[in-house]
Amino acid sequence: MRDILLWPLYFLVFSPLSLLIRTVRDPLCRGWDPSAAHYWHFYRPPGRER
pLDDT at 25: 86
pLDDT at 50: 58
pLDDT in tens, 2-47: 888 899 989 999 999 989 988 888 878 788 888 988 888 888 888 8
pTM higher than 0.75: no
DSSP per residue, the chain: -HHHHHHHHIIIIIHHHHHHHHHH--TT-----TT-S--------TT---
29: alpha, beta or left? (left if phi > 0; alpha if psi -120 to 50): left
pLDDT at 49: 64
pLDDT at 15: 92
Tell which wins on pLDDT, 50 or 16.
Answer: 16
Alpha-carbon gap, residue 31 to 25, rounded angstroms:
11
